[in-house]
Structure 1
Amino acid sequence: MFNPEILIELANTKMPFGKHQGWLLCNLPEPYLNWFHRNGFPKGKLGMQLATLYEIKLNGLEYLLKPLLKK
């Protein structure tokens, strides 16, 4: 069963490290996600979030996350 809270959290979590530290995950550029896809996503929850975001962007579904952003 799909948990919609996963998408809400994905849309509102900030990148904790690296070149785009502090950016919302949903705003990370595709080339950055492609790099992780090629070189390996981090372990744990962040890796799952980045892998999910990669698939969302790969399939042109970013618009699903925009209404979930907290103001």
Structure 2
Amino acid sequence: MKLKAVIFDIDGVLIDSVYANAVFFERFFRKYAPDVKYSKSQYIERNHMTMWDIIKHFTKAESDDEVRRL
């Protein structure tokens, strides 16, 4: 069977990705910033933010370079 189309759901319209993203950040902080106090409910309150802004918020990074180092 030949594919005629591919649908990308990058903003959670078709599939609710909030929980999966919350788990991702939980694992990310555990590995790269273990001193960060993080919970899934805190992420859900901020799921409208970009990945970079979420990392900056929780790590208290003062620059984009600090975020990139993580």
TM-score > 0.5 by shorter chain: no
**TM-score between the two structures when normalised by the length of structure 2:** 0.25
Name whichever structure is richer in helix by fraction: 1
